[in-house]
Amino acid sequence: MEKENKGKKNNPNPLTGENVSLLPILAVNFIGTLGFSIVLPFLVFLVNRLGGNAFIYGLASSMYPAFQLIGAPILGRWSDTYGRKKILFISQLGTLLSWIIFLVALFLPVISLFKIDSRVLGAFTVTLPLAVLFFARALDGLTGGNVSVANAYLADITAERDRSRNFGKMSISENLGFIVGPALAGILSLTMYGDVAPVLGAIVISLIGTLLIIFYLPESKECAPGETEEAEKVRKLFGYEIRECKTTFGTKKT
């Protein structure tokens, strides 16, 4: 009995809400939503200047959530298999890369690719920078599983008694990102650099998020799908099948 207690003292669970700071994961969550919302105030003017209209603006705004719908479940499943930190890093790196592509689009020549004049969709021109901008938003959405994986990470390290409080903090950090993002974009847009300033701000913010994950975020529980039931291929891809997971600390959860 004494041996068991001694072993527990010498090998405490390295990741619990008691001995791990929540600040890095809250900061990553805040940065994720801030990076998404910072584009909202000036995107309409940018799309209009590059040849688009109201329809194209709506399409550009929907690119991120549409591709996130595809990417987030896959990234979530990968985080179960390969670990939360690795997938958070890939997700944040994708966001950083997408903002760099977005910045490049602002400096491309406005070359017309094709024009459309429709009674339903209106008249607009799809230009080279507009197409690159669409690609950047799609890439950001496809790798935009950072918020969902961050929530899974928090669930891994949070004890049952602290669950409501910690997820409340997570919700606050997420909402703060949506508040600060548009306000920051408005302030930066007033500088002499115009639309370039918010994009540069988003790149810096994404870089900070990437560095936080690398240096300050320890790996949480990893689990791999067990061989419980054979599911359809599509369900399997998106991670909806019933599975048993083994954590790296030898415990099991379903």
Closest CA to 194 of 49, 26, 37: 49
Domains in the chain with CATH codes: 19-222 (1.20.1250.20), 223-254 (no CATH)
- List, for residues 118-170, the tens digit of each pLDDT value: 888 888 999 999 999 999 999 988 987 777 888 888 888 888 888 889 999 99
**Greater confidence, 41 or 128?**
128
Task: Reply yes or no on whether the pLDDT at 41 is more than 50.
Answer: yes
Q: What is the DSSP letter of 251?
A: -
Q: Give the predicted TM-score (pTM) of the model.
A: 0.78
Residue 164 buriedness (CB in 10 A; 0-12 / 13-18 / 19+): exposed
* CB-based contact 123:117 (threshold 8 Å): yes
Amino acid at 41: P
**Strands of the chain, DSSP E:** 112-118, 122-127, 245-246, 252-253
**3 backbone dihedrals φ, ψ, rounded to 5°:** -60, -40
* CB-based contact 123:252 (threshold 8 Å): no
Q: Which long-range contacts (CB under 8 A, 24 or more apart) does 108-115 make?
A: 108/132, 110/50, 110/51, 112/51
Mean pLDDT for the stretch of residues 98-108: 93
**Greater confidence, 111 or 120?**
111
- Which pLDDT does position 133 carry in this prediction? 93
